[in-house]
Chains A and B, each alone.
Chain A
Amino acid sequence: MSLLLAEFRDPETLLDAARRARDAGWQGLDAHVPFSIEGLSEALGLPQTRLRLVMLTGGVLAGIFAYALQWYTAVYDYPLNSGGRPLNSWPVFLIPTFEAVVLGAILSGVVGFLVSTGLPRLNHPAFAAHGFERASQDRFFLAVADPAVDETRLAAALDGLDPLSIREVA
């Protein structure tokens, strides 16, 4: 399937272009930009990411594991009377539990990020586009991967927004 890239000089025009492409009901919309732009995912109509839920789940599970480990070792497997404290000294057990929650959350967040973005992935059709190296510097690309859309239709839809270039890459 072919990939169309339209290049813009500034984020505002890209946002306009993204909204037009979304309103036209095209599929396979994406953008390649050098920094995070507020409102871009809405303009492209991207669904909300559920990564924070993943992080929460990972954190809670790690926390439960850490507390269970402490309970099992300190109460059941190796009970030791330390200055008359209760075997299940829950207030202090919460400290390692908290650290485990953070560890579980960040690990699941980072792994989730890699899985959901498909990175590391060193090659991608977009890299073949001439001038794409500026997508990480100072150019803003709209990407359309819709079999129903060709260069002419894209150019017509972007009329007035004055893209610097419109390219098709395999």
Chain B
Amino acid sequence: MSAAAQDAGLPLGASYDGMIGIVADPMLQHRPGRHYRIALGLAFLATLSFIGLVTWLFVAGIGIYGNNATVVWGFPIANYVWWIGIGNAGTLISALLLLTRQPWRASINRFAEAMTLFAASIAGLFPILHLGRPYRAYWLAPYPNTMELWPQWRSALVWDFAAIAVYILFSLLFWYLGLIPDLATMRDRARSRRARLVYGVLAFGWRGSARHWQRHDAVYRAMAALAVPLVVSVHSVVGLDFAASLMPGWQESIFPPYFVVGALFSGFAMVVTLAVILRWGLGLQAVITERHFDAMGKILLAGAIVMGMSYATEWFLAWYGGERAEREVLHFEFTGPYAPLYWTMLACNVAVPQLLWFRRLRTGLLATFLIAVAINIGMWLERVLIIWNTLSHGYLPSMRRLFQPTFWDWATLATSFGVFVFLFLCFVRLVPAVAMHDVNKRLHDEQAGRA
């Protein structure tokens, strides 16, 4: 058996048909279970509440949030950075693993990309929500207008708008292009006429022609190659939103790479979280195996170490740079009113993941799941604290003020999860959550390698 055969993490002796059956049949033949329907109902309620909350925000104004003249970014921008971090990982994982020819990618890339798409779309809403005049968000777009104004191209916020818009479009196209052959499989496997019709139209009439595959591969791989610099640019630009300012604790050249690693780290943690749930919920034990959790666990561990080093670099440079405001912010982080949160963040992001040194914990699903959730919480705290600490402790002591999240802040955050869960639940019922054509290609390589 070749090394590649073990790497795909697929069961030996599986058949193409069997693989497709594992993924597609639960969707086509079984009615959703009670747990699923309850979860979908709750998520739908949360989605409605989110819409209601946003409507109320637009009616009542930004004053219902805890944002004040000092901590202007408050919750919405922290949520934005966190969600876009989650959203960054899916495509990066998918593209990077494709380019580095990691065969185990095939089992996780589809839902990782869906996760990206949903998370990035939710993320894109938050900057609009925190505007005082959200109905003027479109002023960021360059278009000839009667005011005879153009966007300020030297502003990080304009870069951010461009990066996020391109990224969401990219994620959608990349995800859908990879999905087309699988939609054709669904069309051909479905028994009911309605399902055949819907999947048939969505599959664009894909017939697996060698010419089509050739072009599909060419475009898909080229897009993957573009995805890596694109993703790096997206979160670097998010980092520049902070670093291009003059605030103590933000104006650091480490920010762009540090944000990219943070995004990869939190995104991978979210992929692990979802993989555990999906594997259990959809019965994908044969497709998502211990091997996958082992590999992802190692990446999380590496991420935790890089995050630890980034924090240490920040502390060292704040001290070594010698500027008073920088040192005060550092002191404020460790001893100020937000200090308990800061310590929790360090524990979640750096200390807890060290458990992944143990192979038994990497492959033990419960332990991996709990560690991944801790990382997600830790990364959210990091995003919130980057904003609160610096903005609450700027250069001007008379302007220093703390941020008190209101009920509306928490409710918007909580229901945004509901939106994500709702979209994801719809996704797993309607679309193959695993890239079947890619898994079978791996299976073929595996069997050819063994022969």
Q: Which residues of A does B touch, CB under 8 Å? A: 11-12, 30-37, 40-41, 44, 46, 49, 51-52, 55, 69-70, 73-74, 77-78, 80, 82, 85, 89, 92-93, 95-96, 98-100, 102-103, 105-107, 109-110, 112-114, 116-117, 119-124, 126-127, 133-138, 143
- Cβ-defined contact, A32 with B154, below 8 A: no
Asked if B211 is an interface residue, CB under 8 A from chain A, the answer is yes
Are the CB atoms of B204 and A137 closer together than 8 Å? no
- List chain B residues, Cβ under 8 A from A98: 229, 233
A-B contact pairs, 12 of them (CB 8 A): A30-B210, A34-B440, A89-B154, A95-B233, A98-B233, A105-B222, A105-B226, A109-B223, A117-B211, A117-B212, A120-B204, A120-B205
Secondary structure of the B side of the interface? helix
> Which residues of B are found within 8 Å of A121, using beta-carbon distances?
204-205
Q: Determine the residue in chain B with the shortest Cβ distance to A77.
A: B150
Q: Which of A93, A119, A133, A137 contacts B16 (CB 8 A)?
A: A137
Q: Does B209 contact A (CB under 8 A)?
A: yes
Contact: B204 with A31, CB < 8 Å?
Answer: no
Q: Is the CB of A103 within 8 A of B210?
A: no
Taken together as a complex, chains A and B put the C-alpha atoms of A134 and B188 apart, in Å, by 7
Contact of A36 among B174, B441, B448 (CB under 8 A): B441
**Which residues of chain B (126-180) have a CB below 8 Å from chain A?**
142, 148-154, 158-159, 162-163, 165-166, 169-170, 173-174, 177
- List, in ascending order, chain B residues with CB within 8 A of A100's CB: 162, 166
Known contacts A32-B207, A34-B440, A138-B17: A117-B152 contact under CB 8 Å: no
Contacts A31-B209, A40-B210, A136-B181 given: A122-B201 contact, CB under 8 Å?
yes
- Cα A89 to Cα B152 in complex, Å, equals 11
Residue in chain B with minimal CB distance to A115: B215
Determine if A99 and B150 form an interchain contact, defined as CB atoms under 8 angstroms apart.
no
A56 to B354, CA, bound (A): 43
Residues of chain A lying within 8 A (CB to CB) of residue B448: 12
Cα–Cα distance between A49 and B209 once the two chains are bound (Å): 14
Cβ B142 vs Cβ A73 within 8 A = yes
Report Cα–Cα, A50/B216, bound state, in Å: 12
Q: Once the chains are docked, how many angstroms separate the CA of A165 from the CA of B76?
A: 61
| B206 and A119 form a contact (CB under 8 A) | yes
Instruction: Tell me, in angstroms, the Cα distance from A100 to B161 when the chains sit together.
Output: 12
Supplied contacts A110-B173, A122-B200, 8 more A-B pairs, CB within 8 Å? A30-B209, A30-B210, A46-B214, A95-B237, A99-B162, A102-B170, A126-B207, A138-B15
Q: Which of A92, A109, A113, A126 contacts B153 (CB 8 A)?
A: A92
Q: Does B298 have its Cβ within 8 Å of any Cβ on chain A?
A: no
A102 touches B205 (CB 8 A): no
Q: Which residues of B contact A117 (CB under 8 A)?
A: 209, 211-212, 215-216
B166 touches A99 (CB 8 A): yes
Q: Which residues of B contact A78 (CB under 8 A)?
A: 148-150
Most buried by A among B154, B201, B205, B448: B154
> How many residues of B sit at the interface, in one of the four size bands?
35 or more
B187 to chain A, nearest CB (A): 8
Contact A52 B16 (CB under 8 A): no
B219 CB contact (under 8 Å) in A11, A51, A119: A51
Within 8 A of A (CB), among B185-234: 185, 187-189, 200-201, 204-219, 222-223, 226, 229-230, 233
Given the known inter-chain contacts A40-B213, A95-B159, A103-B166, please indicate yes or no for A32 contacting B208, CB distance below 8 A. Answer: yes
Cα of A119 to Cα of B153 in the assembled complex, Å? 38
Answer whether residue B429 sits at the interface, using C-beta atoms and an 8 A cutoff.
no
Residues in B with CB closer than 8 Å to A80 are: 152
The digit string for B9-24, where 1 denotes a CB below 8 A from any CB of A, is: 0000001110010000
Is A89 within 8 A of B153, CB to CB? Answer: yes
In the assembled complex, B291 has its CB within 8 A of some CB on chain A = no
Q: In the complex, what's the smallest C-beta–C-beta distance from A155 to chain B, in angstroms? A: 21
Taking CB atoms, residues of chain B closer than 8 Å to A96 are 153, 158-159, 162
Contacts of A95 in B (CB 8 A): 159, 162-163, 233, 237
User: A96-B159, A113-B219 are known contacts. Are A106 and B153 too (CB-CB below 8 A)?
Assistant: no
B184 at the interface (CB under 8 A from A): yes
